[in-house]
C-alpha cells in the first residue's frame, strides 16, 4: 500500500486476471455460444431442417404424441413428451420401459427410448444423427469435461471469483476508464493493447459484472453452504431445498392394478387455464395404464426474468389436480430465480440474445487483450536484454505459448467440433463423444504446437487455420446438406436459425482473416526496416 490504494489495485487487477484468464476465455466463449444452444443443436441435426408450413397448436401435437405412445409404449413405466416451442418446432417423445423382472431389487431400471415426431402428423421423423449439439457447449462453460463435475464447478467458481476481483479492481485502477473508452491509438504497441482492453471492458461493463456475479449465484449453495448447514443441522440440506424450492414429481407409490388413463388433452387445457393460457413445456406420465398413474405438467418459461418453472400434478385416472409447485414461491426462490434467469437469458427474444452474444464476444476480447497486454508490457521491460541476444524469461515464454493455445487455438477447436458433426459417419458408435473428442484433440494439438514454438509465425498459422475452418463451415454445410445459405437465405426455405449460424461463423472467420492480414502487414513493414533495426526488431517480434 506504499504506492497508494489505486496503484495497489493495479497489481491485484493484473494478477487476478492473468492467473485464470485462459480458463475464463474458455468459459466466456462456450457460455456466449450457449445463448443460441437450441439453434446450434438444430444446425447440428440437419435431418430436422424441415419446418412445417404452418405452426401446429400444442393440443394437436399432444394428441399425436399420445397416440404414438399408446401404439409403441403402452406398457412403459413412464412417458415423456416435450412439446414444440418457439425455438424448437420438433416434438420429442420418450419412454422408460418396465425394468426386467429378474433385476436386483432397488437397482433395476428400464431402458429409455427417445424419438422425434412431426407435430403436424405425428409421424416419426427420419433418424437424426446423435449429437450433444449446443448442450455440450452449455455444459462446457461450467462443467468442463473429462473430470468429475464437482471438481469442474469448483474450478469455474474460483476463476469467476478471480474475474469479479479483476473487474472491480480494474474499475478502481483505471481512473480515466470512460475517457479512454473513446480513445484508440492503433499501431502504438502497449498503448494500443491497453486501449483495446479498456474499450471492450467499458463497452459491456454492466454485462461483465452481471454475468460474473450471477454465475457465482448459480453455484452459491456449493460455494457457501455454511448457512444451510448451520440452520439445518439435524434436518439436513435436503430439508432446506424442499422448503425453499419445492418440486413435484408424482412418482411416489406402486403402479397398482390396470386402469384406463385419463385423456391428456383436457388435463393440458386445465393446466393452461391455471397459468392463464401460458404454453406447456413438458408432460410426464408416471405408470400409464395403471390405477396409480399421475401426470406432471411443466409450464414453459415465459418472457419474465425469473428462471422458475411451475409444475402441476394431476391424477392420471380421474384427471383431478393433486398438487402444484412454483405458483407462490418464497422470497428466496424469487430472488435466486431472477438472478439465475438473468444469467441464462431465457427471457430474451432473438435480438436481445444477439446483444448478449455481442457482449459475450466483447468479454472474450477483454480477457484475451488483457493476457496479451501483460506479455507486451513484460516484453518491453526485457527489451534491452532481448536486443542483446538473451532468451525470453520462462514466465514470458509460458504466457506467450498459453496465449497462442487459448486465443488462437479455441477457434480451431470450435470449428473442429462443427466439422466433425458433418464428417463423422452418422451411425458411428458413441458419436456425440467422438465429436467432443475432436474438439479437445484439435485444441490440444494447437496448445502443444504453441508450447513448442511460441512465435509470431505460430500466431499467423493458427489464426489462419481457425479462419479457414470457420469460413469453410458454410461451404461444408452446402456440400453435405440441402439447407445451405443458397436455400435458407436466398430462397427463404428452411429454418432461419440455420442461416444465422452459417452467417455467424462466416463473419467470425472473416474477422480472424482480417487479424491475420494485419499481422502480415506488420511483418512486411518490419522487413523494410534498415539492417541495424532488424536485429533488435527480430528479438522483440516473437509472440508480440
Digit-coded pLDDT (tens) for 289-313: 888 889 999 988 777 788 888 889 9
Q: What is the mean pLDDT of residues 107-118?
A: 73
The whole-angstrom separation of Cα 325 and Cα 307 is: 14
Cell of 339: 438472478
Instruction: Report the range out of 29-43, 49-63, 527-541 with the highest average pLDDT.
Output: 29-43
Strands, DSSP E only, in 326-366? Answer: none
CB 17 within 8 A of CB 166: yes
Supply the mean pLDDT for the chain. 85
**For residue 377, which of 347, 400, 349, 358 has the smallest C-alpha distance?**
400
Is 84's pLDDT higher than 50?
A: yes
Digit-coded pLDDT (tens) for 361-403: 999 999 998 999 888 888 888 777 666 667 778 888 999 999 9
Per-residue confidence band for 188, with pLDDT thresholds at 50, 70 and 90: low
Digit-coded pLDDT (tens) for 456-494: 899 999 999 999 999 999 999 999 988 888 888 877 676
Q: What is the mean pLDDT of residues 146-174?
A: 92
| 3-state SS record for 450-489 | HHHCCCHHHHHHHHHHHHHHHHHHHHHHHHHCCCCHHHHC
- 298 membership: H or E segment, kind and range: strand 294-299
Quote the DSSP letter at residue 99: P
Q: What is the pLDDT of residue 105?
A: 47
The whole-angstrom separation of Cα 177 and Cα 174 is: 5
The whole-angstrom separation of Cα 267 and Cα 319 is: 6
Q: What is the mean pLDDT of residues 309-327?
A: 85
Is 187's pLDDT higher than 70?
A: no
Max Cα distance, the chain (Å): 94
Cβ contacts of 1 within 8 Å, gap of 6 or more: 8
Digit-coded pLDDT (tens) for 411-447: 999 999 999 999 999 989 899 999 999 999 999 999 9
Cell of 419: 466439422
**For residue 419, which of 399, 401, 441 has the smallest C-alpha distance?**
441
The alpha carbon dihedral of 51, 52, 54, 56 has a sign of negative
**For residue 271, which of 217, 325, 202 has the smallest C-alpha distance?**
325
Amino acid at each position: 500500500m506504499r504506492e497508494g490504494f489505486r496503484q495497489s489495485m493495479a497489481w491485484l487487477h493484473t494478477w487476478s486476471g492473468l492467473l485464470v484468464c485462459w480458463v475464463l476465455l474458455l468459459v466466456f466463449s462456450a457460455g456466449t455460444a450457449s445463448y443460441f444452444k437450441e439453434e446450434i443443436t438444430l444446425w447440428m441435426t440437419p435431418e430436422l431442417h424441415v419446418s412445417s408450413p404452418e405452426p401446429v397448436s400444442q393440443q394437436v401435437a399432444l394428441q399425436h404424441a399420445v397416440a404414438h405412445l399408446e401404439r409403441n409404449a403402452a406398457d412403459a413405466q413412464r412417458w415423456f413428451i416435450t412439446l414444440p416451442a418457439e425455438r424448437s418446432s420438433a416434438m420429442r417423445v420418450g419412454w422408460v420401459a418396465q425394468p426386467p423382472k429378474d433385476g436386483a431389487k432397488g437397482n433395476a431400471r428400464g431402458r429409455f427410448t427417445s424419438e422425434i415426431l412431426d407435430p403436424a402428423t405425428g409421424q416419426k421423423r427420419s433418424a437424426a444423427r446423435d449429437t450433444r449439439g449446443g448442450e455440450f457447449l452449455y455444459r462446457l462453460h461450467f462443467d468442463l469435461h473429462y473430470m468429475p463435475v464437482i471438481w469442474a464447478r469448483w474450478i469455474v467458481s474460483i476463476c469467476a471469483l478471480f474475474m469479479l476481483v479483476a473487474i472491480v479492481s480494474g474499475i478502481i485502477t483505471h481512473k480515466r476508464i470512460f475517457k479512454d473508452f473513446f480513445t484508440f491509438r492503433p499501431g502504438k504497441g502497449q498503448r494500443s493493447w491497453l486501449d483495446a482492453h479498456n474499450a471492450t471492458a467499458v463497452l459491456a461493463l454492466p454485462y461483465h459484472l452481471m454475468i460474473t456475479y450471477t454465475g457465482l449465484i448459480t453455484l452459491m449453495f456449493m460455494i457457501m453452504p455454511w448457512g444451510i448447514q448451520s440452520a439445518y443441522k439435524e434436518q439436513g440440506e435436503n430439508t432446506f431445498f424442499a422448503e425453499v424450492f419445492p418440486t413435484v414429481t408424482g412418482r411416489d407409490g406402486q403402479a397398482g392394478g390396470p386402469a384406463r388413463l385419463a385423456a391428456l388433452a383436457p388435463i393440458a387445457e386445465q393446466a393452461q387455464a391455471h397459468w392463464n393460457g401460458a404454453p406447456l413445456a413438458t408432460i410426464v406420465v408416471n405408470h400409464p395404464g395403471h390405477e396409480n398413474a399421475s401426470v406432471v405438467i411443466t409450464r414453459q418459461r415465459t418472457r419474465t426474468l425469473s428462471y422458475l418453472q411451475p409444475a402441476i400434478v394431476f391424477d392420471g385416472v380421474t384427471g383431478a389436480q393433486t398438487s402444484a409447485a412454483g405458483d407462490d414461491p418464497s422470497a428466496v426462490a424469487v430472488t435466486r430465480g431472477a438472478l439465475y434467469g438473468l444469467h441464462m437469458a431465457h427471457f430474451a427474444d432473438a435480438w436481445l440474445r444477439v446483444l448478449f452474444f455481442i457482449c459475450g464476444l466483447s468479454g472474450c476480447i477483454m480477457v484475451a487483450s488483457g493476457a496479451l497486454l501483460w506479455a507486451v508490457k513484460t516484453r518491453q521491460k526485457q527489451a534491452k536484454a532481448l536486443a542483446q541476444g538473451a532468451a525470453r524469461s520462462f514466465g514470458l515464454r509460458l504466457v506467450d505459448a498459453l496465449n497462442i493455445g487459448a486465443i488462437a487455438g479455441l477457434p480451431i477447436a470450435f470449428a473442429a467440433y462443427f466439422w466433425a458433426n458433418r464428417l463423422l459417419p452418422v451411425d458411428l458408435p458413441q458419436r456425440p463423444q467422438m465429436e467432443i473428442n475432436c474438439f479437445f484433440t484439435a485444441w490440444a494439438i494447437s496448445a502443444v504446437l504453441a508450447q513448442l514454438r511460441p512465435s509470431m509465425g505460430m500466431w499467423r498459422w493458427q489464426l489462419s487455420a481457425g479462419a479457414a475452418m470457420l469460413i469453410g463451415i458454410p461451404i461444408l454445410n452446402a456440400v453435405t446438406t440441402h439447407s445451405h445459405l443458397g436455400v435458407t437465405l436466398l430462397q427463404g426455405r428452411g429454418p432461419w436459425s440455420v442461416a444465422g449460424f452459417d452467417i455467424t461463423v462466416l463473419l467470425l472467420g472473416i474477422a480472424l482473416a482480417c487479424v491475420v492480414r494485419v499481422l502480415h502487414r506488420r511483418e512486411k513493414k518490419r522487413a523494410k526496416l534498415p539492417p541495424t533495426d532488424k536485429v533488435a526488431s527480430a528479438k522483440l517480434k516473437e509472440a508480440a
